[in-house]
Amino acid sequence: MLAVLSPGQGSQKPGFLTPWLDLTGAESRLRWWSALAGVDLVHLGTAADADEIRDTARTQPLLVAAALLAAEHLPMYDVTLTVGHSVGELGAAALAGVLPAEAAITLAGVRGREMAAACALEPTGMAAVLGGNPDEVLASIATHGLHPANRNGAGQFVAAGAVEGLEKLAAEPPTKARVIRLKVAGAFHTPYMAPAEAALAAVAAGITPSDPGRILLSNLDGAAVNHGRDMVQRLVRQVTAPVRWDLCMRTLADLGVTGVIELPPAGTLAGLVKRELKGADAPEVVTLNTPDDLPAARDLIARHGMAPSHEPTMHFRVVVAPSAGTFEPAEGLAEGDTLRTGQVVGHVTTRQGPVEVTAHDSGVLTEWLAHHDDPVAPGQPLVRIGGNP
């Protein structure tokens, strides 16, 4: 199984899009997306310096555009799973078929501008906390009135909040931990971003999403998302909610992902995957930074992706598990029964309680892929739906 990762803010580098503009149609694509995002993506990706592309309002649409531009040169129909980090979720949602590329770029532009505006309301910031005991790190973050904005796994947390609290955290770091202030405009993924969440919600309400065409993981809890509308709501909520990249990587491991491609500007997420998913089952990783890396990425997809069949087959849709736990089919529901969109087909029992599993399309329940009390991982197929009622 192959996963494609879309990076988030902080991964950008001056001039990283320059080699991509040599590809046919790339510059015109970026100019079209620039009109939607309200920023000059060609300039930002080629000539802008580090300070200019650090601006949240510019960085966010630039990163989403870069991921989508590179993905256009990959055989994405063989890719099983997509997931993004923070604003990278917009790119991942587009690659999963939930959003058109134009909608993802537009939302990234709105998200960046509104988060930049929220940062200007009061002095806040972020700091990476590396190492230490996770429980002690979280306790220390809370003690100083801060929020765990990112839980990235591999011993990496990001604390966010008032500048005064960050200074106290740096002066009194958790045992065996290092605190490094980040050069960002404010406290992303915390309640300080509430105005930006409200503004993004107002725009996102006008979008008509589609359900994912491949497994799509959410930063909120590492779960696979079945419904397009649910994903849009999660994208909006993520502006103030912590990024649980640790749980996304746990899901990659649970699903047995064997190959990973990080889209440009690549390196950060690939590094986290390599540090967290080790051993004999560690996935093979390719960082896609320039067109010169495309052959290696395509080769990885050919070896780890799902090759399409040229035989005539009936098209089925599958309902996947939203969370890890044990599956319980809905009482009285059997193979051959007609399902309607939104019908509850069962639930997954988790440590937090039962999570409903619903059909995202109408059709015939062709096959149960999981049964009573079967342990399931997020994204694991549970029910196959075929035909039309």
What are the catalytic residues?
86, 189
H or E stretch covering 254: helix 245-254
Angle at 65 between CA 61 and CA 71, to 5 degrees: 150
* Residue 290: φ, ψ to 5°: -135, 165
Task: At 55, list the tokens.
Answer: 């601006």
User: Could you tell me which of 99, 25, 108, 39 has the C-alpha nearest to residue 69?
Assistant: 25
C-alpha dist (Å) from residue 250 to 33, 221, 276: 34, 10, 9
Between CA 313 and CA 31 the distance in angstroms is 40
| Residue ranges with strand state E in the chain | 2-6, 81-84, 124-131, 147-153, 156-162, 177-181, 215-216, 259-262, 284-287, 316-320, 325-329, 338-339, 344-350, 353-358, 363-368, 374-376, 381-386
Residues in Cβ contact with 157 at an 8 Å cutoff, skipping those fewer than 6 apart: 128, 129, 134, 137, 138, 141, 148, 150, 151
Which residue is it, tokens 């309902």? 319
Q: What is the DSSP letter of 224?
A: B
Between CA 297 and CA 204 the distance in angstroms is 32
Between CA 85 and CA 64 the distance in angstroms is 11
CB 125 within 8 A of CB 181: yes
In this structure, is the dihedral angle defined by the CA atoms of residues 243, 246, 250 and 253, taken in order, positive or negative? positive
Tell me the helix, strand and coil percentages in the chain, rounded to 5. Answer: 40, 25, 40
Computed over its alpha carbons, how large is the radius of gyration of the chain? 21
Between CA 66 and CA 37 the distance in angstroms is 13
Task: At 258, list the tokens.
Answer: 């064997």
Counting Cα atoms < 13 Å in the Cβ hemisphere of 55 gives 15
